[in-house]
Structures are given as C-alpha cells and as structure tokens.
Amino acid sequence: MTAERALRVSQSIKKELAEMIQRDLRDERLTGLISITEVECTSDLRSTKVHISVFAPAKSEAVPAGKAEDQAEQKPQISAAAAADLAAEKVVECLNEQSGFIRGEICRRLGLRFAPEMIFKLDTSLERGSKVTDLLGKISRGEV
C-alpha cells in the first residue's frame, strides 16, 4: 500500500476516534480534555499507535474546618501535577482496555477490511515544549 493511503486512513481514524471519545465511550476514567495528537499507521494498516494528551483540571476538595487535621493524617496529599499525571494514566489505561470495541467501530465506520490493532500512548511533547519555552524565556530575561 502507498504511504498516501496510510496517511489518509490515519487522518480518518483520528477524526473518528475524537468523535467516539466525545460521544460514544462512557467511562468514569475518561475525564478532562482528551486530545488525539497523532495517529501512526503502518503501511499495511494492521497496526496503529495513537498518541493522546490529557488536560485534567485540578479538583479542589473543600475540607470542613474541624476535619482538616483528621484528613491530613488519613490521606497523603499529592500535588496537582501528580494528580493530573495519574488522571492521564487512567485515561490511557481505559482506552487500551476498550481498544477491542474501538477497533470494531473504526472498522465499521471507515469500511476497512481489517480492524487495525490500536495502542494508546500518552503524548508528553506538549509539556516538554512548554518547559523548553519557559527555559528560553528565563534565559532571555537573564534569570538563568
């Protein structure tokens, strides 16, 4: 098969997956803003890697005034970044668990002969790019 066909199918899979995640998949682990950043198909269309990024908003839990000391002893506090990473990992785990259903739906919607095997991976390139931009800003201001 040609590379152009694999590229067209990758773009179609990306579009259909975005719609499926938004409308069809119902799971409590699918929280936050889930973006599909890239879909890589092999030339024979048998396997795909789906890179996703997840923006999970920080959850603020109100603690009653008298209960703050009790909860501090019971639950270890985690940072917002760690909570966001945990939520992103849960999203990836959920999508990998539901990959059988997703494969079948993609095959039906796109009219493919074979349902490609899908592997969902967390894309951290946006976070790395943000860190590099912050470092370049600090260098230009003379902070580093």
The tens place of each residue's pLDDT in the chain, 144 residues long, gives: 578 999 999 999 999 999 999 998 888 888 888 999 999 999 999 999 999 998 876 554 444 445 545 544 555 677 877 888 888 899 999 999 999 999 999 999 999 989 899 999 998 887 788 888 988 999 999 887
Q: Which domain holds residue 95?
A: 3-59+66-141
From the list 30, 28, 4, 29, the residue with the least C-alpha distance to 17 is 30
Q: pTM for the whole thing?
A: 0.74
Backbone angles phi, psi at 60, to 5 degrees: -105, 125
Say which DSSP state 116 is in: P
Number of domains in the chain: 1
Q: Is 117 helix (H, G, I), strand (E, B) or coil?
A: strand
Q: What is the CATH number of the domain that holds 97?
A: 3.30.300.20
The span from the CA of 6 to the CA of 40, in Å, is 8
